[in-house]
Homo-oligomer: A and B are copies of this chain.
Amino acid sequence: MTTDTLNPPITDTDALIADMGVRARTAAKRLAVATTTEKAAALRAAAQQLRGEAPAILAANAHDMDAGRANGLSAAMLDRLRLDTARLNGIADAVEAVAALPDPVGAEIDRSTRPNGIELARVRVPLGVIGIIYESRPNVTADAAALGLMSSNAVILRGGSEAIHSNRAIHAALVAGLAESGLPTDAIQLVPTQDRAAVGALLRAQGLIDIIIPRGGKGLVARVQDEARVPVLAHLDGICHTYIDGAADAEIAVALAVNAKMRRTGICGATETILIDRAYQGPRAIIDALITAGCEVRGDKAIAAVSPHVTLADASDWDSEYLDAIVSIAQVDGIDGALAHIDRHSSRHTDAIVTEDRVIAGRFLAEVDSAIVMHNASTQFADGGEFGLGAEIGIATGRLHARGPVALEGLTTYKWLVRGTGQVRP
């Protein structure tokens, strides 16, 4: 495939994105009044297409994998990029799972009747047009499109160039599903060019795109947050803490420390720093269990004195998201020391306390200002699926609109319905 096919000649990227935005808006108007049945049928048709087009999708993916190897992509990136029959079935299953979720659109948030007889109701309506900017993982193409469609939003997808053929093949299957169902095919659009200017155009598309959701590494998210004029729903870092209080159960403390750090080290909910109360009696068991599990432990002086296998942390460790089998451990003075450390270093994603003291736990839950705060649970549970949301489009650490795992509800806004019988305002 030539560069010309990757980047069809587009005289003006802004004009391309503007055109896509206008078409998305038109599709969004139709989606806003689509029934749950229509949307679910479209998603099931899309899933069918994904299964039926498996040979074409896997061939496209093989093309991307070849190019990736030729371009020297890391093993981790190649693994994120790779599709096989099982993974593709998983993608189709996920689309069907979204089709089975409760429709957020039209749900009533609250209702009241005013003394003058006017009836008020707040009902959920779609956000409108969502821009998704992502990297390598081709499953995001289907996941984001499914969540967007089920919440009656049109989506404009912009995947990474390393996955372009996979994304195009998946997109074609999704659009074929839409076409079968009678919903507008512009509801799911894929930016046709890999020109990086297209990302800039999306980020500046105020009025055309209602929200941008970046999915990918820190570099991508930072660029999006920095350049966007359209509102962004995202998290930049996942510097999550697990605090082992003096009143923690020793067995639970070891199990949670190891799981929170080591279950999967590459996810944003993985614990990066463990704080151990000076009063806690068993720090050595925690350190040993982590080391046994294959984790490198970097500690402050007090922790380094506990075990010869601990290396001394430097200042940057407390602000590091390792996303790897490395943990930093600090000794703190009780709940106040833990709160102070977390307030200073947390990325306000997920922070947990391990304690049997309910009062101390209550203070932690009340005073830690993070999207998710946990008591006696692994920070690895920070996930929309684990929270029962059915799926998630991402985790947000901003303070506006939606916080923590964002799923269908987070892709809606609301409007006020006011029903009168001719009331005039005095």
Contacts and interface: CB of A to CB of B under 8 A. Distances in A.
Contacts of A378: 420, 423-425
A231 B118 CA distance: 32
Contacts of A118: 377, 381
Interface stretch (A55-63, A295-303, A400-408): A400-408
A259 B416 contact: no
Interface stretch (A5-13, A81-89, A162-170, A368-376): A368-376
A399 B128 contact: yes
B403 A32 contact: no
Contacts of A423: 376-378, 381
Contacts of A222: none
Given A128-B399, A388-B112, A376 B420 contact: yes
Interface stretch (A136-144, A249-257, A320-328): A249-257
A333 interface: no
Given A211-B400, A400-B127, A371 B415 contact: yes
Contacts of A53: none
A379 B422 CA distance: 11
A288 interface: no
Contacts of A252: 421-422
A415 B404 contact: yes
B381 A263 contact: no
A370 B415 contact: yes
B422 A386 contact: no
A231 B400 contact: yes
This chain's copy number in the assembly = 2
Interface string A378-402: 1011000011100000000011110
A399 B210 CA distance: 7
A359 interface: no
Contacts of A67: none
A114 B386 contact: yes
A130 to B, nearest CB: 11
A369 to B, nearest CB: 7
Residue among A366, A386, A418, A422 with max Cβ neighbours from chain B (10 Å): A418
A418 B367 contact: no
A107 interface: no
Contacts of A370: 415
A127 B400 CA distance: 8
A398 B401 CA distance: 11
B425 A400 contact: no
A120 interface: yes
29 contacts: A29-B369, A32-B369, A33-B367, A114-B388, A118-B377, A120-B387, A128-B399, A249-B422, A251-B422, A252-B422, A255-B422, A259-B425, A365-B417, A369-B415, A372-B416, A373-B415, A373-B416, A374-B418, A374-B419, A376-B421, A376-B423, A377-B418, A377-B419, A380-B424, A381-B418, A387-B416, A400-B400, A400-B401, A403-B413
Given A375-B417, A375-B418, 8 more contacts: A29-B369, A32-B369, A33-B367, A127-B399, A371-B416, A373-B417, A376-B419, A377-B418
The 6 closest A-B pairs by CB, nearest first: A377-B420, A259-B424, A252-B422, A374-B418, A380-B425, A401-B401
